[in-house]
Amino acid sequence: MRILIADDNALVREGIAEILGENAWEVCGQVSDGVQTLEQARALQPDLILLDVSMPGTNGLEVAAAIKSEMPTIKVVIVSQHDFSKLLPGAQRNLADGFIDKNRLGTELASTIAKILSEP
């Protein structure tokens, strides 16, 4: 399982990488903006991308749409501190395979990823 972490906060990326390492998942890359996320998704072809919504350059929702259009087999998990019901109305929810509140990363990250990876 290869995971790309996309978040503009280095401390958040490192924290996520630590949690992933505890669960024996490979972090194949870490990026800090939307443009880098697309470039690394194309180059690395990860199994899953943990994608922050609020990043410099291209935002996470635009990146998710591009990834799902161009590389539909890559799972996308949106990570945000914003209320998902307000952030992702209607059709935008189809851009992601899952959602994680940043305030719950420590308690829900591993179980959310495991659930998403078990789905066809």
DSSP letter for 74, please: S
Domains of the chain with CATH codes: 2-118 (3.40.50.2300)
Q: What is the pLDDT of residues 45-90, one digit of tens each?
A: 999 999 998 888 888 888 999 999 999 999 999 998 866 666 655 4
Examine the pLDDT at 106 and tell me if it is beyond 70. yes
- Evaluate if pTM is beyond 0.85: yes
Q: In the sheet where 26-31 sits, what is the strand order?
A: 26-31, 2-6, 48-52, 75-80, 98-101
Distance from C-alpha of 53 to C-alpha of 78, rounded to nearest angstrom: 7
Distance from C-alpha of 86 to C-alpha of 67, rounded to nearest angstrom: 22
